[in-house]
Amino acid sequence: MSRFLQLHLLTSYPPANLNRDDLGRPKTALMGGTERLRVSSQSLKRAWRKSEVFDRELAGHVGVRTKGLGIQIKENLVAGGINPDDARKWARQVANVFGAIKAEMSTAQRAALDKKDENERREKENEELEIEQLAHLSPDELKGVDALVAKMCERKSGPAAEDLGLLRKDIAAADIALFGRMVAASPRFNVEAAAQVAHAISVHSVVVQDDFFTAVDDLNKGDEDRGAGHMGETEFAAGLFYLYLCVDRGLLAENLQGNSELVRKTIAALARAASIVAPTGKQNSFASRARASYALCEVGDQQPRSLSVAFLKPMTSGDFLDEAVRALLKTRDQMDRVYGACSDRHASFNTLDGTGTLDELIACATA
């Protein structure tokens, strides 16, 4: 099996705010001395993990990332007839397996809750059941938690020490195998990510723009006040993005316990999602759905490399897509001439001229 899979994609997004910074502004980066739009790898990976593509093609093999496992366990215990105090205590014990739980309230703090309204009291009680960092659980681990909850409800007692061996090394979770996980309290259950995903970056310079908008009050007849019912401002930009990702297929197979069919499905789902799934940020405001206009797949044992240097000098012709495809292929060919071929086989599709298909690209990636 050829070890590395590399994907290079060019995707054009119309005006959008796909991935915001702490000020609500589209994320950017300086590259080649000019400001470019950027979509973080974290944003992309979440969009792929939560997509219909992963749901459909990897059903039963996608995990859950959450801090709220203890809350869910407590609710299920209470629903199973366990009193709330015991349910809270047992839920903390089980959730603590997957990461350190937030500090428990003192007796005085708990007594003070009685003076608060129901919603505020429930919120405070739930906070002490949260895991401090996001825990990524595989489907088998989730099943183990559910089975333990059912056992505790049946026997009306908390978890025994032997019940708490819930973490699994032999996961069958495609998303954990691809993107890894860290269990700080139990490092032997860490999973090294088999996929490396770069931040997508625009191939041309950008200027982030402001959109001033108003909303009209439907019941305002304008007899006394013709002003807007609401005014606001949001920022946006449009861009053609280059995305690079690399998968260590050998490590992916190792993470998935040598399940070759699941490896194939995982690679296929990743390639399909990267080509057709857009980040979800501000989609209701901009409907910035897009699919890759060009994609290149390379497979081989050679040391991987990004082709982002093709866009160090920003595109300026106005025909960005055609110029970007030509720049990408020129850079690949010149690198291959200098270093030798970086793949044993490749496939591509190009919507500009209608050559190649996504299915052909996936066949190359999974062969």
Predicted model pTM: 0.92
CA atoms within 13 A on the CB side of 309: 9
What single letter denotes the amino acid at residue 71? I
Token pair for 271: 């390639």
Kind and range of the H or E run holding 251: helix 249-255
pLDDT at residue 103, rounded to an integer: 83
Token pair for 56: 């459909």
**106: three-class secondary structure by DSSP:** coil
Q: Residue 278 in contact with residue 290, Cβ under 8 Å?
A: yes
pLDDT at residue 104, rounded to an integer: 80
Q: From first to last of its 367 residues, what are the pLDDT tens digits of the chain? A: 689 999 999 999 999 999 999 888 999 999 999 999 999 999 999 999 999 999 999 999 999 999 999 999 999 999 999 999 999 999 999 999 999 998 887 777 767 766 667 777 778 778 889 999 999 999 999 999 999 999 999 999 999 999 999 999 888 999 999 999 999 888 999 999 999 999 999 999 999 999 888 788 888 877 777 777 788 888 999 999 999 999 999 999 999 999 999 999 999 999 999 999 999 888 988 999 999 999 999 999 999 999 999 999 999 988 999 999 999 999 999 999 999 999 999 999 999 999 999 999 999 999 9
The residue written with tokens 């990524």 in the block is: 136
Name the residue among 101, 61, 99, 253 with its Cα closest to residue 187.
99
pLDDT at residue 1, rounded to an integer: 67
pLDDT at residue 3, rounded to an integer: 95
Residues 79, 84, 87, 92, CA torsion sign = positive
Q: What is the DSSP string of 166-218?
A: ---SS---HHHHHH-B--TT-GGG-B--SEEEPPEEESS----EEEEEEE--T
Name the residue among 349, 252, 334, 254 with its Cα closest to residue 296.
349
The residue written with tokens 């390379």 in the block is: 298
